[in-house]
Structure formats: structure tokens, C-alpha cells
Structure 1
Amino acid sequence: MNNHREGAFLPPLLGELNYSDWKIRMKMFIKSIDEWAWRAIVIGWTPPTSMNESHEIIQTPKEKWSDEEVRIADYNSKATNAILSCIDEDQFKLISMCKSSKEAWDVLQEAYEGTTQINECKQTVAETVATVGQTVQRDLRYDNLHSIHDKRSTPLNLAGDDGDSENNSDDDVSTLEEIKQCYEKMYEKFLQVCESNKFLEKEKLVLIEENKVLKVQISTLEQNVISASRETDSLKAKFAQTQDDISKFNTGRVPVNVGTVTNECPGTCNNEAFHFDLSGIAFGALANPGQADPMRKLGQFGCRVQCTYSNIGIQFKIDIGSNANYLAFAIEFVNGDGDIGAAAISSSNSNGWLSMKQSWGATWSVGIPEGVSGPYSVKVTTIESQKTAIANNVIPANWSKGQNYRSNVNV
């Protein structure tokens, strides 16, 4: 029956011998609080997570939880509180490190119902006790039948011989002594079984503590693996970028931005920190034939060399951090001034063009709305010339990280 503790009807406190009854009562008690509180024990609960700006999975701050996430967390808290209200301090120590009601429930269940190995040991002990009981009962029945047979085979003493009466009394005393010995043997077996149970209980608690330590170690290893995986991805991205830069140098396709080319004032000309300081002859060689002196007399003047990639379309290299909800790529081999002022993408199931933002250098990125997928078309507009090029369906639906996709258009 339920105990009336502190003004509320609660299941009885969990004890050494009442777990089976306690488990049933606790289940109904938690269901009476809320059906979803019991579901928190059945399916478990973990804190909500989200992705930060570095695309890492982190626990969502509580102030940013949605109403649904707060509701589910509340069910877990109700179930946990119900369990805590029906255990003592020793049992609380077993579940004090648990992060959810399901984890606490499983620890108590393992502690009192045991693992498969412990249950098998208990079953063996029970079978041993049953075997001993059957043996004792069989011996008692044999002794009783033997005693009755002896009495029947003894002639009746019609004369009331006192000696025969004494013999009957001795037989009765002998039978009671044998019964006493049998019960003593049963009691010894019972004590042995009790000692075995105590040993198993101690072993069980040791296993539970080892299990907790292993869980912590596994969690630490998993975090280390995740951290190492992220570091590996970052190094792979840097390696791929370095390889790409090397290939550009090897093929002469890397653009060079020179601050100043001069034949005078080395180190400080025009406040430029870096420049090419040429001799007068070398500087004059830059001019058309017969125009070396006039060029030297021009003084300081600015010029910009346009990029020209003959028969090469604009290329899009997918960033290593891209995923189904986030797409980033570097825009390469743009003719003319080469500086991108705007970029956008679209697909057959997007609502027009999705504007991108410049992440760094030539890399542009955009968040992909739910339901939008490739293939993607890309629109590129330069800053100075304001020229626009549209590469239709240049990025396929099954795009891959680090892959290059070249178009057949340029500005």
C-alpha cells in the first residue's frame, strides 16, 4: 500500500527487497504526473544543441531554447524529481551524476535487477536452494517410511512390557533428532546462500562504479575524437588551399598586385611599403621603342593590368565547410579587373536569386533555405566594370567539398 509521506501519496521508499513492487508503483506514479514525464524515461532526454558560427555543434544556451524544448526538458525534470522523492541517500549517490531521468532509472534497475551475469548467478543460487530442499524432503520421507516399517514389524506387546515401551520411546527420540539434524543442514545451506548473495551485491556495486568510470572515459574519448576530426578537416582545407596556390604559381595563373614600380626613392616612394626598385635602363625598357626618356619624365602615374584568361570560363571551388544548409565557394579566373562586387545563386526550386556575402578574399557564402537544392546557377558582377556573367546550372545537385566546377562564361 502507498505510504502517506509529508502530506502526499507517494510510492514506498526503495528498499533492498521491494524493487519489483517499487518499479510498478513508480511507473504509475510518474504517469499520473504526466504521460510525457514517463516518456522522458522511456525515450530519454538530452540538452538541445545548435551550430555556432564556426559550424561546431554546441549546447544551446537555455535562454535560446524554443518553447517545445523547454516543455520537453520540464517533463524530464518532473520524472527526475519523482524518482528522487522515493529513494534514500545511499541510492541518491548511485544516480547523483545522471543527467536525465532515463539514465537514473536505468542505473537503479541495473543495481536492483542486475546485469545478465548477476541474474544468472542468482538463478544458480535459487536452483541450488531448491535442490537442497528437495533432497531434505526426500530424506525425511525415507526416514519416516523406514520408522513406520520398523514399528509394523515389531510384535505387539500385549502384556505391556515396560522394556518394549522404552524401546518405542527411543525410536521416537531418534526420529526427532534426525529431523533436527536435517533442519540444521538446511539452515547451514541457507546461510551459505545469504553469504553468496552478499558477495554478489558487493560485486554488483563494484561493477556499477566501474561502469560509471567507463562512461566518463568514453565520453572524453568521443569529445577528443570530435576535436581531432575538426582539426583534421581544418588542416585538410589549408592543405588543399596551399596545393591550389602552388598550382597557380606553376601555371602562371596567380594574379600579382604590385604597389609601385620605380627607379628612384627606394623604400619610401609614394608611401608604399613594398615596390620594385629598377635601374634606369631596366625602367626604360618598359616603354615602347624610343619612348624611354618621355616615360621617365611622366613622374608618378597609376595603371592597372587587366586579367585575361583566353578560352577559360569562371571557376567555382566549393569550400570544405559547406553543407546542405550552407554553401560557400571561391570565384576564380574572372577576366577584366577581376574584383567581384556582388554574387548570387538560384535553383529551379528557389524564389529568385539568393544574394551571397563575401566571407574572405575570393570566397563567397550563402545560407540555403529549407527545401532548396541544386543544381545551382551563379551570377557574378565585377566592381569597376560592372559587368555581369551568369553561369547556368554550373554547380550540380550532388556537388562535393573541395571540388572545382568550371563554367563556359566569363565577363
Structure 2
Amino acid sequence: MNCKIVELGLGAGGACGYGSLVDVKPLRARVGAVSPVLFKGGEGCGACYKVKCLDDSICSRRAVTVIITDECPGGYCSAGRTHFDLSGAAFGRMAVAGDNNELRSTDYWLSLLVEFEDGDGDVGSMHIREASSIEWVEMKHIWGATWCIVGGPLKGPFSVKLTTLSTARTLSARDVIPSNWSPKATYTSRLNFFT
């Protein structure tokens, strides 16, 4: 497969800056983030790898070619190890026919994007708490207003606590994410930091 990118877009699409090109040929969202040893400070952008799942119960024998568009978020990839974080489209391509949602879904990773904080809207830290717990777990800052947690399995409903960077004010949204949470969904708390 020819993985050469001939035109760069601006905006999203990972640290490599491919923007909306990740959704069109030749990528078609079959992209991945890699550990620092493969990302090489950005020199690994655009590299192609064939990845194959070895679990015959949920994976076909088909490998998927992915193009590198990003570095693993928040230091979850060990600096000296080879690690891939694949897009849902890449995972789905490796699945047994009809079972792509089984392979794409995970309850071990949750990423949140904070929008419309208003007032003291500079988020300095973010914590999450499962309904079955009394402990607030600190989330890892990925970039911008995006935070994530790896653990699990993660079970909602979730409460979210934000702390501002400039004034250390805290806001807690209780059970803002329901037990039947789903990827790419938006959940609104109606709480804001007002000046």
C-alpha cells in the first residue's frame, strides 16, 4: 500500500498535522499513535505498519496497514517499548466479519473533552469517580482540554471534578456520565465557573 501523503491539512488529525486527511484515501481512518521509540519526535509521522490481531476468537486473519499520525497520549506508552494505539477503524478492519464493534470497544480507556467552562475556564486538573467508589482518580492531561484515564474495566455512572489552573477553584458534576455511556457522546452538566 502506498502511504505517501502528498498534501498536508491544518487542524486535527494528531500531532503530525494531517487534519481531515485521516478520513480519506489512502488512510480511511486506519491510523495510529505510537510510542516515542517509533514516533521519533515527529520523524515517524507517515510511517506505515502492518498490524495483526492474534486472538482467533474475535480477529480475522487479516492484517491492517496503519499510518502513524500521532504519539501515544499522556505518556501511557513506555519510552523504550514498541506500542500502538489504533483507531476504531483499524481495529474494526482486523475483526471477524460482523464482530467489529466487539473488537473496537473497550471499557479500559476513557477520554474526556471539556467544553464551555466559562469564567475561570483554564482547567488545571481533572478527576473522575466511578459510582461504586469514594475515591477520586486523577486523569492524565493529553492536550488542550482533553483528559484521559486508563484502568478498568471502567463502569459508570461517573462523576467528574475539574480544578482551575489560575484560581484552584473546584467544580464537581455528580454522575454526569451515565452507566450506559458510549464513545463520542456528549454529556452536559450545566455547571460553570462564574466570575
Q: TM-score, normalised by structure 2?
A: 0.48
Larger Rg: 1
Higher strand share: 2
Q: TM-score, normalised by structure 1?
A: 0.24
Higher helix share: 1
